[in-house]
């Protein structure tokens, strides 16, 4: 298939994606529910995952100086045995540099066709991706399927569409004429978007594809090459993505080293050496603040999503039970191991309902009971909580002191008896305390008593400004109070979700509609996916001919 044919095959989908960037309405060519796919794909995916265990992962077709792998299934509590090809840092960089020239020269249409085709290939492996994600991150099957498959593909397509839109914003060439009295100055002008070079994409352990592919596909559509450095404990899912990318790139006659996977181990990390390599021009990073701050200090083009302290502000409610149930699901989902999960729930001393006034203790009791209801539900408990990705998360949470309203409850997963499951610890504290003013990634929730909603807003916005925040959930029946919350949190560059109940949860961000991370506070400096997520990856250069 020629490059043009591949582009034409996906042109309609690309056009729909570009339109969705402007309308911001729901758009997803990749259904998020497993039932939308051929039922046989589930069995095939599970079997394919099984064949990968305790073997060298050869599907990448990358050179190997050695093979590394140390992933441990949070469900099984023993290693998967999958090993990945590893090379020296300089070798990755030299391979990337050698592959760069032809890719940089490829047309935007060629790159778009290849990249969308890779997503169509990945579509056939969504179930395999789900099982790979379950056994490296601890996510439940449904979350693993959605996040690593359809939702990740949506975000990748979003990056491609935004890239095509921005790369074609200006004309390639034109005849410029400036009137000068009896004659004119005639100049032929042309503009080229020039890729910056090699991009490094540093993955995280909990969402190995969803957080990684936006930067990868943004780099590639702009003509940059990409080296992906996954978290050593969460490699397999993104390895499957990269395998399909490399396969399509090679089929179209380009060097597959345009994109490479660069795995390492906890004992012998290579991330810093890659990040500091002078040939690396762009870095995408997802992870904790300490290393993220270091990455941001480098003299390169940097895109980060770090950590933050997400807040819930409870001012007044119509149905406190519905509110409590919504919060309970959000804090329990994947045991709080989501960058969008709430940590601090600020509850005013008096919370008005339509016919009464609730105290802090009243609201706290409702939330505790709602959390119990989620984790004890036979069809929700284990499937909602998933499993904790690593031991560090649990040790960090268990060391905190305070008034415990709900200690971790015993939850069993009949399909994985050894799963490392941890239900949320719910603690009560006062606004004057300090314990809740740091981020605790994982299943720990603070119910913070405030004098009134104005104090709740002040503390939440202050923490967002100093520590960062990605989400804010607010409950208020008063339009004036809503306006104050929105203004103050937006000033801290935090989006607000008001009065979510039912199927709407603060954890959810939809590609093509919701911007993920604003880039305006310490939680990160970039957004999935606005124009700057693309435009900082290339440079416009104009030429003139008389």
pLDDT tens digits along 471-489: 999 999 999 999 999 999 9
β-pairing, 357-359 vs 425-430, is: unpaired
Domain that holds residue 409: 311-498
- Per-residue pLDDT, 391: 82
Please write the tens of the pLDDT for every residue from 13-61: 999 999 999 999 999 999 999 999 999 999 999 999 999 999 999 999 9
Q: Dihedrals φ, ψ of 338, to 5°? A: -125, 140
Dihedral angle sign, alpha carbons of residues 377, 382, 384, 388: positive
- CATH number, domain containing residue 325: 3.40.309.10
- Per-residue pLDDT, 392: 83
Domain assignment of residue 37, yes or no? no
**Residue 146 and residue 86 share a domain:** yes
Neighbours of 130 (CB within 10 A): 27
Across the range 408-412, mean pLDDT stands at 89
Tell which residue, 129, 63, 48, has the closest CA to residue 99.
63
**Residue 318 and residue 269 share a domain:** no
CB 195 within 8 A of CB 104: yes
- Higher-pLDDT residue of 377 and 479 is 479
Q: Work out the end-to-end distance of the chain between its first and last CA atoms, rounded to an integer number of angstroms.
A: 40
- CATH number, domain containing residue 62: 3.40.605.10
Domain assignment of residue 148, yes or no? yes
CB 425 within 8 A of CB 402: no
Range with the lowest mean pLDDT among 248-252, 346-350, 410-414?
410-414
**Residue 275 and residue 328 share a domain:** no
Across the range 271-290, mean pLDDT stands at 97
**Residue 459 and residue 537 share a domain:** no
CB 157 within 8 A of CB 17: yes
Domain assignment of residue 184, yes or no? no
The pTM score is 0.96
Residue 282 has pLDDT above 70, yes or no: yes
**Residue 323 and residue 246 share a domain:** no
Residue 203 has pLDDT above 60, yes or no: yes
**Residue 485 and residue 535 share a domain:** no
Domain assignment of residue 41, yes or no? no
Residue 410 has pLDDT above 90, yes or no: no
Rounded CA-CA distance 341/325 in Å is 14
Tell which residue, 241, 301, 297, has the closest CA to residue 272.
297
Please write the tens of the pLDDT for every residue from 345-354: 999 999 999 8
288-293 CB contacts, 8 Å cutoff, 24+ apart? 288/441, 289/439, 289/468, 289/522, 292/524
Please tell me the chain's helix, strand, coil percentages from 3-state DSSP, rounded to the nearest 5: 45, 20, 35
Q: What angle do CA 311, 317, 321 make, to 5 degrees?
A: 90
Strand partners, 404: 427
Instruction: Write the CA distances from 536 to 156, 209, 456, integer angstroms.
Output: 17, 22, 37
Domain assignment of residue 185, yes or no? no
Instruction: Write the CA distances from 48 to 131, 236, 244, 380, 482, integer angstroms.
Output: 9, 12, 15, 27, 50
The model's confidence at residue 2, banded by pLDDT at 50, 70 and 90, is low
Domains held by the chain: number: 2
- Per-residue pLDDT, 395: 78
Tell which residue, 453, 444, 445, 448, has the closest CA to residue 432.
448
Q: What is the mean pLDDT of the chain?
A: 95
Radius of gyration of the chain (CA): 24
- Per-residue pLDDT, 255: 98
The model's confidence at residue 170, banded by pLDDT at 50, 70 and 90, is very high
**Residue 450 and residue 494 share a domain:** yes
Rounded CA-CA distance 230/137 in Å is 13
Residue 102 has pLDDT above 70, yes or no: yes
Residue 99 has pLDDT above 70, yes or no: yes
Contacts of residue 387, defined as CB under 8 A and 6 or more positions apart, other chains included, come to 74, 75, 138, 139, 335, 413, 416, 419, 420, 421
- Per-residue pLDDT, 3: 67
**Residue 346 and residue 235 share a domain:** no
**Residue 328 and residue 214 share a domain:** no
Please write the tens of the pLDDT for every residue from 222-237: 999 999 999 999 999 9
For every residue of 15-28, DSSP letters joined together read HHHHHHHHH-----
**Residue 533 and residue 476 share a domain:** no
**Residue 202 and residue 91 share a domain:** yes
Please, what's the largest Cα pairwise distance for the chain? 88
The total number of residues shown for the chain amounts to 546
Rounded CA-CA distance 384/335 in Å is 8
- Higher-pLDDT residue of 479 and 381 is 479
Please write the tens of the pLDDT for every residue from 300-337: 999 999 989 999 999 999 999 999 999 999 999 999 99
CB 72 within 8 A of CB 80: yes
- Coil, helix or strand at residue 128: helix
- Per-residue pLDDT, 394: 80
Across the range 185-192, mean pLDDT stands at 95
Rounded CA-CA distance 435/448 in Å is 10
DSSP conformation class of 364: H
Domain assignment of residue 546, yes or no? no
Domain assignment of residue 13, yes or no? no
Residue 123 has pLDDT above 80, yes or no: yes
**Residue 242 and residue 127 share a domain:** yes
């Amino acid at each position: 298939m020629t490059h043009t044919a591949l582009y034409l095959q996906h042109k309609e989908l690309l056009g729909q994606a570009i339109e969705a960037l402007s309308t911001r309405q729901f758009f997803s060519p990749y259904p998020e529910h497993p039932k939308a796919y051929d039922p046989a794909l589930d069995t095939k995916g599970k079997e394919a995952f099984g064949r990968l265990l305790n073997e060298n992962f050869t599907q990448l077709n990358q050179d190997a100086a050695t093979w590394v792998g140390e992933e441990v299934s949070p469900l099984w509590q023993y290693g998967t045995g999958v090993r990945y090809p590893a090379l020296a840092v300089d070798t990755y960089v030299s391979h990337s540099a050698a592959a760069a020239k032809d890719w940089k020269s490829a047309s935007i249409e060629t790159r778009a066709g290849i990249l969308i085709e890779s997503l169509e290939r990945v579509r056939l492996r969504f179930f395999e991706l789900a099982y790979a994600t379950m056994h490296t991150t601890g996510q439940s099957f449904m979350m693993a399927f959605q996040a690593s498959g359809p939702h990740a593909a949506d975000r990748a397509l979003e990056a491609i569409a935004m890239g095509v839109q921005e790369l074609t914003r200006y004309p390639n060439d034109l005849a410029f004429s400036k009137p000068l009295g009896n004659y004119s100055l005639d100049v032929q002008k042309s503009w080229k978007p020039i890729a910056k070079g090699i991009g490094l994409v540093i993955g995280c352990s909990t969402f190995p594809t969803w957080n990684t592919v936006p930067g990868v596909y943004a780099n590639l559509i702009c003509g940059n090459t990409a080296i992906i450095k996954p978290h050593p404990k969460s490699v397999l899912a993104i390895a499957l993505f990269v395998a399909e990318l490399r396969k399509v790139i090679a089929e179209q006659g380009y060097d597959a080293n345009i994109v490479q996977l660069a795995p390492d181990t906890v004992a012998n990390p290579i991330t810093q050496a890659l990040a500091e390599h002078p040939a690396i021009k762009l870095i995408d990073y997802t992870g904790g603040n300490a290393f993220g701050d270091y990455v941001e200090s480098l003299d390169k083009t940097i895109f980060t999503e770090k950590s933050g302290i997400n807040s819930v502000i409870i001012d007044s409610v119509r149905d406190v039970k519905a509110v409590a149930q919504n919060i309970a699901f959000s804090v329990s989902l994947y045991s709080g191991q989501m960058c969008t999960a709430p940590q601090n729930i600020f509850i005013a001393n008096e919370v008005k309902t339509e016919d009464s006034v609730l105290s802090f203790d009243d609201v706290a009791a409702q939330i505790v009971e709602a959390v119990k209801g989620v984790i004890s539900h036979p069809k929700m408990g284990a499937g909602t909580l998933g499993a904790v990705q690593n031991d560090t998360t649990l040790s960090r949470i268990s060391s905190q002191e305070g008034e415990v309203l709900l200690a971790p409850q015993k939850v069993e997963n009949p399909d994985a008896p050894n799963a490392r499951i941890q239900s949320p610890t719910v603690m009560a504290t006062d606004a004057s305390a300090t314990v809740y003013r740091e981020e605790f990634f994982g299943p720990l929730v603070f119910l913070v008593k405030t004098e009134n909603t104005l104090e709740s807003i002040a503390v939440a916005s202050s923490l967002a400004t100093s520590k960062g925040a990605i989400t804010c959930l607010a409950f208020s029946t008063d339009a004036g109070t809503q306006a104050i919350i929105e203004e103050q949190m937006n000033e801290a560059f935090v989006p607000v979700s008001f009065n979510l109940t039912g199927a709407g949860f603060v954890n959810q961000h939809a590609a093509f509609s919701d911007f993920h991370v604003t880039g305006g506070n310490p939680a990160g400096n970039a957004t999935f996916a606005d124009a700057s997520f693309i435009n900082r990856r290339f440079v416009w250069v104009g030429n003139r001919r008389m």
